[in-house]
Amino acid sequence: MLNDTKTRMEKSIHVLQEELGTIRTGRANATLLDHVTVSYYGADMPINQVAGVSIPEPRMIVISPWEKTMLKEIEKAIQQSDLGLTPSSDGEVIRLTLPELTEDRRHELVKQARQYGEQAKIAVRNIRRDANDDVKKQLKEKDISEDESKRLQDQIQELTDRCISNIDQVVEHKEKEIMTI
């Protein structure tokens, strides 16, 4: 039971890291494009599965489609996304130049990162509640003793505290990354 709880809590942290990866910082990052999908022979595919994505400069992303016919589709998908970036194409590759972030925009992104962190903490606390409910149920059904119940609940709380600490560290790291000019 503890292993299942630990796995679920770790998944919450992993989801947080993925969400934070979509937040734009002052530096180019290929994960910005992870949630942008392109129609490829009738199926929606992430850009990184239909093109090579590289970062030649700190504030530029270069997308090299594997098929030239995908160039227009990728451009259209980026323009329709919530990235707020304008792609420029030379017929071979697409270049995305990330503009400097204003101080206000940086603060907005930090707030967004903190919101993602808070959602992850809520998820971890819900997992803790579910695990404690399972322990109480086992105690009620006389499957475990009161001492064992207390020990399990203490272990669950320690695991929760560790995960929340990890979440705080991940969000703090992202905040520093966002605020770095």
The whole-number pLDDT of residue 157 equals: 95
Name the token pair of 24: 């734009």
- Coil/strand/helix, residue 6: helix
Mean pLDDT confidence for 118-125: 96
Name the token pair of 37: 């999908």
Higher pLDDT, residue 60 or 180: 60
pLDDT single digits (tens) 145-179: 889 989 999 999 999 999 999 999 999 999 988 88
40: exposed, middle or buried (C-beta count within 10 Å: 0-12, 13-18, 19+)? middle
Q: H or E stretch including 174?
A: helix 146-179
CATH class of 30-97: alpha beta
How crowded is residue 13: how many other Cβ atoms within 10 Å of its Cβ? 18
122: exposed, middle or buried (C-beta count within 10 Å: 0-12, 13-18, 19+)? exposed
Average pLDDT taken over every residue of the chain: 88
pLDDT single digits (tens) 67-114: 888 888 888 888 888 777 788 888 888 998 888 878 888 898 899 999
CATH 1.10.132.20 fits 2-21+102-179, yes or no: yes
71 and 91 Cβ atoms separated by less than 8 Å: yes
The DSSP code sequence of 72-138 is HHHHHHHHHSTT----EE-SS-EEEEPPPPPHHHHHHHHHHHHHHHHHHHHHHHHHHHHHHHHHHHH
Where do the domains of the chain lie? 2-21+102-179, 30-97
Name the token pair of 35: 């949630």
Name the token pair of 179: 């605020």
Say whether pTM exceeds 0.85. Answer: no
125, pLDDT greater than 80: yes
Site of tokens 């993925």:
18
